[in-house]
């Protein structure tokens, strides 16, 4: 059992630094520098010089980079599916024909557009709406994440400092070996057995390509359906929140009216209580006067009887 008043054990420096940087890059750009200096000062005060240096080395992200980081942190499941989709697309693009590439490109644009809208909505809800240029930078970053493995790894850290730029296109099979002309060398004539094996290999590659295309299509469609479902859930939540606010306002109005009626009723009760006391006082006064009048009447009657008696 820890001794009363003892300081808790300090986490490892690496753990402190990672948590500190995660917290820092979750901070909006307008507050980034002030937060960085506070975290660095706390690390220095605790004797964590390496953590303080890492905090000082952190660079403030652009608004678009912060929104992309916010999307990753706020929607971890969707972000994980998006990264998996990127891996599937990069693999599929290496073996697709022109029609398949066009179809996947359309699905890719749809998913990127939906996720960028979601990032813009998250930024708006956090009080930092994105400009048109910033939204384009978010879309550029998401396209880069799908097309480039290095970009995907950088986004997955949640610590982007600037928007990412996608490559001109997805990598194609054999692009590096094609040479400056980007045209494959003409193959030498093959023997019949070689041609047969080549046909079998080509057929196998086509079957593999179709499987990869199907998997990439399913992943893109699933991601698109999930994004639409989340958008619908967000719209329902917004409507429910608005209805709850309206009900709350009506209840407050009714509460205020009830409090006013209660105040008036208490005032009327106090006035009625005062009037009751005054009436009781008048009743006591009248009763006392009636008693005195009764005694006087009896005394007068007795005097009349006395005077009327001839024997007196």
pLDDT digits 0-9 by tens, 26-58: 999 999 999 999 999 999 999 999 999 999 999
Rounded to an integer, the average pLDDT of 186-203 is 50
Statement: residue 197 has pLDDT above 50: yes
Residue 248: predicted pLDDT? 82
Phi-psi region of 204 (alpha: psi -120 to 50; beta: other; left: phi over 0): alpha
Residue 268: predicted pLDDT? 87
Query: Which residue, among 10, 17, 39, 11, has the nearest Cα to 27 in the 3D structure?
Result: 39
Beta-carbon count within 10 A of 224 CB: 17
Statement: residue 238 has pLDDT above 90: no
Give the up-direction half-sphere exposure of residue 71: CA atoms within 13 A in the CB hemisphere.
30
Rounded to an integer, the average pLDDT of 188-195 is 46
**Residue carrying the six token digits 């006391």:** 277
Statement: residue 201 has pLDDT above 90: no
0.85 surpassed by pTM: no
pLDDT digits 0-9 by tens, 60-101: 999 999 999 999 999 999 899 899 888 888 887 776 666 666
Supply the DSSP string of 24-63, one letter for each residue.
HHTS-HHHHHHHHHHHHHHHHHTT-HHHHHHHHH--PPPH
pLDDT digits 0-9 by tens, 90-144: 887 776 666 666 667 777 888 899 999 999 999 999 999 999 999 999 999 999 9
- Tokens at 199, concatenated: 């046909």
Percentage of the chain surpassing pLDDT 90? 35
Rounded to an integer, the average pLDDT of 203-227 is 67
* Average pLDDT of the chain, as a whole number: 79
**Where does the pLDDT of residue 182 fall: very low under 50, low under 70, confident under 90, or very high at 90 and above?**
very low
Query: Which residue, among 104, 26, 95, has the nearest Cα to 66 in the 3D structure?
Result: 26
């Amino acid at each position: 059992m820890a001794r009363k008043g003892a300081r808790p054990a300090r986490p490892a420096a690496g753990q402190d630094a990672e948590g500190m940087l995660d917290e820092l890059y979750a901070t909006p750009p307008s507050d980034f520098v002030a937060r960085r200096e506070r975290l660095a000062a706390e690390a220095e005060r605790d004797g964590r010089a390496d953590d303080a240096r890492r905090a000082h080395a952190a660079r403030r992200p652009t608004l678009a980079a912060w929104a992309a980081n916010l999307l990753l942190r706020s929607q971890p499941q969707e972000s994980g599916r998006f990264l998996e989709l990127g891996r599937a697309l990069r693999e599929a693009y290496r073996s697709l024909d022109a029609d398949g590439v066009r179809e996947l490109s359309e699905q890719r644009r749809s998913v990127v557009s939906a996720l960028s809208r979601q990032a813009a909505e998250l930024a708006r809800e956090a009080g930092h709406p994105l400009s048109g240029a910033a939204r384009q930078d978010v879309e550029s970053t998401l396209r880069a994440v799908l097309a480039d493995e290095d970009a995907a790894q950088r986004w997955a850290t949640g610590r982007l400092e600037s928007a990412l730029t996608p490559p001109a296109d997805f990598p194609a099979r054999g692009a590096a070996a094609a040479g400056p002309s980007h045209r494959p060398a003409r193959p030498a004539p093959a023997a019949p057995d070689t041609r047969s094996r080549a046909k079998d290999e080509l057929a196998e590659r086509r079957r593999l390509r179709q499987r990869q295309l199907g998997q990439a299509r399913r992943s893109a469609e699933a991601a698109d359906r999930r994004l639409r479902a989340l958008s619908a859930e967000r719209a329902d939540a917004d409507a429910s929140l608005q209805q709850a606010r309206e009900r709350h306002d009506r209840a407050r109005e009714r509460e205020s009216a009830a409090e006013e009626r209660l105040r008036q009723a208490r005032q009327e009760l106090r006035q009625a209580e005062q009037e009751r006391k005054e009436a009781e006082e008048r009743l006591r006064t009248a009763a006392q006067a009636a008693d005195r009048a009764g005694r006087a009447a009896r005394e007068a009657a007795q005097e009349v009887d006395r005077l009327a008696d001839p024997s007196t």
